[in-house]
């Protein structure tokens, strides 16, 4: 069963000449800028090579799942313009695309690993594992599993099962003979696995760990390149060993540099101010967020200026080059996001097809933030809103649409506003940038 199933998908993946990459988040939280950068680079690499971008949901950590997070992940990608070619919502030839729906596959492959001698049952209790860990720390050694159950004979395993003992499945690590090359970091220490204990690949609850599931799924889905965070670089050798144990050819690996907060601390899913939904609720646009992410980690040729300008996704894909990705971590500079969103706002105001949506958004913001009794209804007419938008975009007065409803902008909507404002013409709006607006005691003066 295993060999026939494996060969069928192996031939499918060999016939898949196009680049196939995947973004495989865990729905234990909502997407933040770190995960979004990984999705962006996978998307750009796929489009640069006329390939496919796949979304796979890795929900094997059932205890930490956040309800609704999986669906929100895909909707967030769609909002960003990074729509996958295959996904749980879109489906495709290589589905299902949610790991909890693929458990029977993992079980079949684990049985084969045990039969071939590459994996074994481990009956060690949590109490014993904790004792081994504490002893290692006490002796100044690196905590790791001591591979005790690796030596159990088949009869001993059966005896323990008959006594009702539960077990997980561990993979036997060994040295990796051939060199290991990463497309970003170059030579990778292939013998790092020799300093680890045998990893768990199937938990007691019947769910696979990341190490097993991602290898099986990447193979069966015909993934040609794995672009993921640098935190997985140390695990690459054990993943290649798993490929070898199955008799499969591994994909190419490219690990992306770490993104940190401005103070150098690590990003966290529980950090609200780096979550995508936070930026969306504040009024930042997808193209501005993408502009910020392109500054963190490199990956683009000098043919485009990512430092000062915004670019479309096709333009970014055309310029994307894994050879330009840096190996050092990058810090998020949120002031650059403000600047990029100012550009995005100006670009949108200059596009007639975007104006309808922006007028509706601005009208909603006015009713939401300005006291109704002070609103001049005439200023909410389409023509008036258009004038305000053009006035606001000239000289980059704002970087968020909602800033037009800040307290110091109240004169724009008030029946007591300066009559000059109502006469602003889009074609001459820029002339008003030379007049600083002074707000004093509720009046507006132009000097």
Active-site positions read 269
Q: Structure tokens of 135?
A: 């002893």
Alpha carbon distance 117, 112 (integer Å): 9
**Diameter of the chain measured on Cα atoms:** 94
Alpha carbon distance 373, 394 (integer Å): 29
Instruction: Quote the DSSP letter at residue 165.
Output: -
The residue written with tokens 């999986």 in the block is 70
The dihedral built from the CA positions of residue 125, 131, 133 and 135, taken in this order, carries a sign that is negative
The residue written with tokens 């509720």 in the block is 442
Alpha carbon distance 27, 314 (integer Å): 28
Other beta carbons within 10 angstroms of residue 54's beta carbon come to 26
The residue written with tokens 């949610």 in the block is 98
3-state SS class at 223 = coil
Other beta carbons within 10 angstroms of residue 289's beta carbon come to 22
Closest C-alpha among 391, 378, 389, 381 to residue 428: 391
Number of H helices, E strands in the chain: 15, 15
List strands edge to edge, sheet with 180-182.
186-188, 180-182, 252-256, 225-229
Let me know how long the chain is.
447
Instruction: Quote the DSSP letter at residue 327.
Output: S
């Amino acid at each position: 069963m295993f060999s026939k199933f494996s060969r069928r998908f192996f031939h499918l993946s060999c016939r898949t000449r196009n680049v196939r990459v995947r973004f495989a988040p865990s729905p234990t939280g909502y997407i933040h800028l770190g995960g979004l950068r990984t999705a962006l680079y996978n998307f750009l690499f796929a489009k640069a090579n006329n390939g496919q971008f796949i979304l796979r949901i890795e929900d094997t950590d059932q205890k930490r799942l956040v309800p609704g997070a999986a669906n929100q992940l895909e909707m967030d990608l769609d909002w960003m313009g990074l729509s996958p070619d295959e996904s749980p919502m879109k489906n495709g030839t290589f589905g299902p695309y949610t790991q909890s729906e693929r458990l029977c596959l993992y079980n079949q492959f684990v049985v084969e690993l045990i039969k071939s001698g590459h994996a074994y049952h481990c009956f060690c209790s949590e109490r014993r594992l904790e004792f081994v860990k504490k002893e290692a720390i006490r002796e100044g050694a690196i905590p790791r599993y001591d591979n005790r159950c690796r030596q159990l004979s088949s009869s001993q395993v059966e005896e323990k099962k008959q006594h009702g003992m539960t077990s997980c499945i561990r993979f036997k690590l060994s040295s990796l003979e051939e060199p290991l090359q990463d497309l970003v970091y170059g030579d990778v220490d292939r013998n790092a696995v020799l300093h680890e204990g045998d990893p768990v690949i199937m938990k007691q609850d019947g769910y696979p760990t990341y190490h097993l599931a991602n290898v099986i799924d990447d193979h069966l889905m015909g993934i040609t390149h794995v672009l993921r965070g640098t935190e997985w670089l140390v695990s690459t050798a054990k993943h290649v060993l798993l490929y070898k144990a199955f008799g499969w050819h591994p994909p190419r690996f490219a690990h992306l540099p770490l993104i940190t907060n401005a103070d150098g601390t690590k990003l966290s899913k529980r950090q609200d101010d780096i979550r995508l939904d936070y930026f969306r609720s504040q009024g930042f646009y997808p193209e501005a967020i993408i502009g910020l992410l392109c500054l963190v980690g490199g990956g683009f040729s000098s043919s485009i200026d990512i430092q000062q300008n915004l670019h479309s996704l096709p333009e970014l894909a055309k310029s994307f080059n894994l050879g330009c990705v840096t190996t050092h971590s990058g810090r998020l500079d949120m002031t650059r996001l403000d600047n990029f969103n100012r550009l995005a706002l100006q670009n949108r105001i200059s596009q007639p097809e975007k104006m309808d949506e922006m007028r509706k958004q601005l009208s909603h913001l006015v009713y939401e933030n300005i006291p109704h009794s002070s609103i001049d209804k005439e200023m909410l007419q389409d023509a008036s809103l258009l004038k305000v938008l053009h006035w606001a975009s000239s000289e980059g007065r704002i970087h968020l649409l909602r800033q037009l409803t800040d307290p110091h902008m109240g004169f724009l909507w008030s029946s007591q506003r300066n009559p000059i404002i109502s006469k602003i013409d889009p074609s001459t709006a820029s002339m008003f940038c030379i007049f600083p607006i002074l707000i004093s005691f509720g009046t507006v003066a132009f000097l």
